[in-house]
Amino acid sequence: MKKSLTICLILISALILVSALPLQARDIARLSKGQMIYVPAYSHIYSGNKELPSLLAVTLSIRNTDPAYPITIHTVDYYETQGLRLKGFISSPLVLNPLESFRYIIPEKDKAGGSGANFIVEWKAGRPVNPPIVETIMVGPRTSFTSRGQEIFPSD
């Protein structure tokens, strides 16, 4: 009886350990040492039957979500609808400390980006960390909305 109980406890313990492993692997997979992120932006949107453009101010927000470790921003580039690079925002790496945020602004009067504008943001860290939240916030006289960045992989 004691032997059966011991075997049963061992099997239950093994099942608990095995079921916890995928969760731990998934958590580790979410950590990263760096990414290239594509972030949609809209310097204007169209409305009405005549497709009249409404100009928007664009704020790019980069938020280090890691509570313990810094990340380093290496690239913040702004592109227009046809893919032409309009502006590079940083000339040297920018360190974001744990839970620190930084922003870049495209003024409402700057319509060069068009309705298909976007940012490319590249960041790195010295160890695996929680990836940052990178998003744009568009604000105009009649509307406001956000767009979240997505990791992309360079084709080199």
- pLDDT tens digits, residue range 3-21? 665 554 554 555 455 455 5
Long-range CB contacts (within 8 A, 24+) of 44-50: 44/111, 44/114, 44/115, 45/115, 45/138, 45/140, 45/143, 46/115
Q: Could you tell me the pLDDT band of residue 23, with boundaries at 50, 70 and 90?
A: very low
Q: Could you tell me the pLDDT band of residue 51, with boundaries at 50, 70 and 90?
A: confident
- Topology of domain 33-152 in CATH is Hypothetical Protein Tm1070; Chain: A (2.60.290)
Tokens 């360190």 belong to residue? 95
pLDDT for the residue 15: 47
Model pTM?
A: 0.81
Q: Taking the domains of the chain in order of start, what are their residue ranges?
A: 1-30, 33-152
User: What are the tokens at 84?
Assistant: 């032409």
